[in-house]
């Protein structure tokens, strides 16, 4: 069935009850939402199971599908609890789809009896065509959410490679992360609040200083494809247009859904396109960018000295001291929600107003106990309650109340663990461990001793002696884009033909670059973000010989894994680990030059191939825990070696990352 015969799904976000009802009122075809746990937007209000059961039943009576986000990296200790959650979802909520990031959750869902669709989150980074068949065949995924960074030409490449029973979902509107999804560790570095687990504190939105120039070098405009979605309608594999925004209010949800419905149904009519743009202009989001969508007109969505705060700019704070006020640029309604300043400023706050304020009127800002906002601080309108929308939500709320409350029973589900791998014991030897130093470029003189690793640069293998090729561990990049897939396929083939014995993939789907006949060993690298035995089993089923686990884990999580793992494990024990990896860089950010946060944390950005890496000026270093890790059963210890710019001073600070913390 073509898209013309079956309309493209408009998929709306819902972080709370009113936003869910606003999506239904606006005519969304599907709503995606999260639970109180295991969602990649844990800072949204999210839903309890009982509340979600009623909302899902209401949505189904309106012909609206419900997708539940379970798209976080799971720790070993969370498998039983997640399985019980899925069991209860299946029995009492009946969602149409689960959105997952962790490859182990696919098997967990089936163990728990889930029978609906499985959608692979953009956090899983299935970013190139060869991975799609792998995803469908081995994980039985029904839909892949593709990265926001793809051009329309790359999207067509992905669509052309889609198996007939696999759909694609694209983002059409909403917040843009600077980093590639699933490739950001910045927030986790700041105290265990992992973006891969929905706890991001958005350090990319903050102010940084580089050589006296202060700016928000990493804060992006929102994505807004608006009228550019029209050519996507002719790609039959693209089944869903996704609107980002589970932390947004009902006003945003209602207007964006209305706009994209117009563009889908009447996008060929100039009057409808104009009306859709007007609706998007009323949605209270940041300024938008088409980003990389147009191959010939790519846009870096970071603009120097431009405001990138969310919401509609309404004016600036006037007055001073504890008597501050502002004059709005447009009429404010009773119930409007304002945001004063930016989240990284000490005077940042939100304010719900209780009475209407005319355009150019005066609204006094109560200071409360906090620090008052200084003169000139921006004020944004981030949500509002128009009488018409409030009425629609109220009417749906009454229908919701008429649905009998459902008691959500407990679950006794227990995960069936995979068979544990046991090392071969050699008489007279205490353990069998390997130290691996991974360089950006191999040393020019071959060294004796432990094997070395290096990041693959296509073509470099032809300049290296075959003996060195054979004993080197060859690391593939954390992201491969569709327009470079053939280059990487050829690089893998050339390496294996020249005798490479061990290659390291940094997304599970990079296994799709290898032919079954290739005589080599494949390890899953640390960028695969693996943290539980079921995910390790998924990598084993794909053909991995070992796994280097996620470096984000806390100490107990590290130590518990080998005793439950179906494969030998490795760990990054020392080196410079990136804060994030991106496809873009602000034009005014100087490569290789340090920049500093207000808390005096320094970092630098450098390009390798078609990716921009941002590194902190301190080492990840858990070498003092090595004996504990050996005792737990780790076999491989990885040291990441990076070129440190001459003007970057490495800070002497503990490098334990989350070892002594609880990974949130």
pLDDT of 384 > 50? The answer is yes
Q: Domain segments of the chain: what residues?
A: 9-174+224-300, 312-381, 434-640
Q: Tell me the C-alpha distance between 639 and 438, whole Å.
A: 6
- Equal fold, 9-174+224-300 vs 434-640: yes
> How much is the pLDDT for 46?
61
pLDDT of 4 > 60? The answer is no
- For residue 647, what are its two tokens? 């003007």
Which of 154-163, 507-516, 543-552, 594-603 comes out lowest in average pLDDT?
594-603
- Which residue carries 């780790």 as its tokens? 634
> How much is the pLDDT for 370?
74
Q: Tell me the C-alpha distance between 100 and 110, whole Å.
A: 13
Residue 638 CB partners (closer than 8 Å, separation 6+): 436, 438, 453, 526, 548, 570, 571, 572, 573, 575
For 13-69, how does the pLDDT look when each residue is reduced to its tens digit (9 = 90+)?
999 999 999 999 999 999 999 987 665 554 545 688 999 999 999 999 999 999 999
> How much is the pLDDT for 42?
46
List of E strands, 421-496? 434-439, 452-455, 473-475
Angstrom CA distances, 434 to 104, 446, 477, 528, 572, stand at 27, 18, 22, 20, 12
CATH code, residues 312-381: 2.40.30
Q: Are strands 65-70 and 30-34 parallel, antiparallel or unpaired?
A: parallel
Which of 228-237, 535-544, 550-559 comes out lowest in average pLDDT?
228-237
Mean pLDDT of 322-337: 91
CATH code, residues 434-640: 3.20.20
> How much is the pLDDT for 662?
85
Residue 309 CB partners (closer than 8 Å, separation 6+): 286, 339, 342, 378, 380
Residue 92's φ and ψ, nearest 5 degrees, are: -120, -25
Is the CB of residue 298 less than 8 Å from the CB of residue 583? no
Crossing angle of helices 533-542 and 103-111, in 10° steps, is: 110
pLDDT of 664 > 80? The answer is no
CATH code, residues 9-174+224-300: 3.20.20.70
Confidence of residue 254 (pLDDT cuts 50, 70, 90): very high
Percent of the chain clearing pLDDT 90 (strictly above): 78
Is the CB of residue 93 less than 8 Å from the CB of residue 56? yes
CA angle, 113 as apex, 510 and 41 as ends, to 5°? 60
For 208-246, how does the pLDDT look when each residue is reduced to its tens digit (9 = 90+)?
999 999 999 999 999 999 999 989 999 999 999 999 998
* Beta-bridge partners for 14: 33
Mean pLDDT of 574-594: 96
The span from the first CA to the last CA of the chain, in angstroms, equals 43
Angstrom CA distances, 102 to 40, 108, 118, 187, 530, stand at 11, 10, 12, 19, 8
> How much is the pLDDT for 446?
62
For 105-140, how does the pLDDT look when each residue is reduced to its tens digit (9 = 90+)?
999 999 999 999 999 999 999 999 999 999 999 999
Neighbours of 120 (CB within 10 A): 29
pTM of the model: 0.94
pLDDT of 98 > 80? The answer is yes
């Amino acid at each position: 069935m073509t898209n013309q015969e079956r309309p493209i799904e408009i998929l709306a976000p819902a972080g709370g009850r009113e936003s869910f009802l606003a999506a239904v009122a606006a005519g969304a075809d599907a709503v995606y939402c999260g639970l109180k746990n295991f969602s990649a937007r844990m800072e949204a209000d999210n839903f309890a199971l009982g509340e979600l059961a009623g909302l899902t039943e209401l949505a189904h009576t309106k012909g609206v599908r419900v997708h539940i986000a379970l798209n976080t990296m799971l720790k070993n200790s969370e498998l039983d609890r997640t399985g019980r959650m899925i069991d209860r979802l299946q029995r009492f909520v009946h969602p149409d789809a689960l959105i997952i990031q962790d490859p182990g959750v696919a098997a967990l869902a089936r163990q728990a009896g889930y029978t609906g669709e499985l959608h692979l989150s953009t956090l899983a980074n299935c970013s190139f065509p060869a991975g799609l068949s792998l995803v469908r065949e081995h994980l039985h995924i029904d839909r892949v959410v593709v990265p926001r960074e793809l051009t329309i030409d790359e999207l067509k490449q992905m669509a052309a490679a889609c198996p007939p029973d696999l759909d694609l979902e694209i983002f059409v509107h909403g917040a843009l992360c600077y980093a590639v999804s699933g490739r950001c560790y910045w927030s986790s570095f700041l105290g265990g609040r992992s973006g891969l687990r929905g706890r991001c504190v958005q350090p990319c939105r903050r102010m940084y200083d580089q050589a006296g120039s202060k700016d928000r070098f990493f804060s992006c405009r929102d994505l807004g494809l608006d009228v550019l979605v029209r050519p996507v309608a002719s790609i039959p594999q693209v089944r869903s247009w996704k609107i980002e925004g589970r932390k947004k209010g009902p006003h945003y949800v209602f207007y964006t859904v209305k706009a994209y419905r117009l563009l889908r149904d009447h996008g060929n009519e100039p009057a409808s396109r104009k009306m859709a743009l007007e609706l998007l202009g009323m949605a209270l989001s940041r300024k938008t960018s088409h980003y990389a969508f147009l191959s010939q007109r790519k846009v870096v969505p970071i603009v120097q000295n431009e405001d990138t705060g969310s919401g509609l700019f309404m004016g600036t704070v006037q007055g001073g001291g504890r008597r501050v006020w502002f004059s709005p640029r447009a009429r404010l309604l009773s119930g409007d929600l304002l945001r004063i300043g930016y989240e990284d400023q000490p005077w940042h706050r939100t304010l719900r107003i209780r009475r209407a304020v005319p355009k150019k009127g005066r609204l006094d800002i109560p200071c409360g106990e906090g620090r008052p906002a200084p003169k000139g601080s921006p004020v944004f309108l981030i949500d509002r309650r128009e009488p018409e929308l409030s009425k629609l939500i109220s009417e749906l709320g009454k229908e919701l109340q008429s649905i009998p409350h459902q008691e959500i029973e407990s679950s006794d589900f227990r995960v069936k663990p995979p068979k544990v791998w046991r090392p071969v014991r050699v008489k007279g030897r205490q353990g069998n461990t390997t130290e691996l130093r991974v360089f950006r470029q191999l040393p020019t003189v071959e060294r004796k001793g432990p094997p070395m690793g290096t990041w693959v640069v296509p073509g470099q293998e032809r300049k290296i002696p075959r003996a060195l090729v054979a004993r080197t561990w060859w690391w593939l990049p954390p992201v491969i884009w569709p327009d470079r897939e053939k280059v990487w396929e050829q690089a893998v083939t050339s390496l294996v033909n020249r005798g490479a014995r061990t290659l390291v993939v940094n997304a599970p789907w990079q296994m799709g670059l290898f032919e079954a006949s290739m005589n080599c060993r494949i390890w899953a690298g640390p960028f695969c973000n693996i943290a539980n035995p079921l995910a390790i089993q998924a990598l084993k089923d794909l053909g991995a010989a070992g796994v280097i686990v996620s470096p984000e884990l806390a100490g107990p999580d590290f130590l518990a894994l080998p005793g439950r793992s179906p494969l030998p494990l490795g760990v990054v024990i020392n080196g410079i680990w990136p804060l994030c990896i991106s496809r873009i860089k602000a034009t005014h950010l100087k490569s290789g030059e340090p920049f500093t946060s207000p808390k005096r944390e320094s970092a630098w950005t450098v390009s390798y191939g078609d990716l921009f890496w941002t590194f902190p000026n301190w080492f990840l270093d858990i070498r003092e825990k090595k004996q504990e890790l050996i005792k737990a059963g780790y076999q491989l210890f990885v040291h990441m070696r990076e070129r440190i710019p001459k003007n970057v001073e490495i800070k002497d600070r503990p490098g334990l990352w989350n070892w002594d913390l609880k990974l949130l």
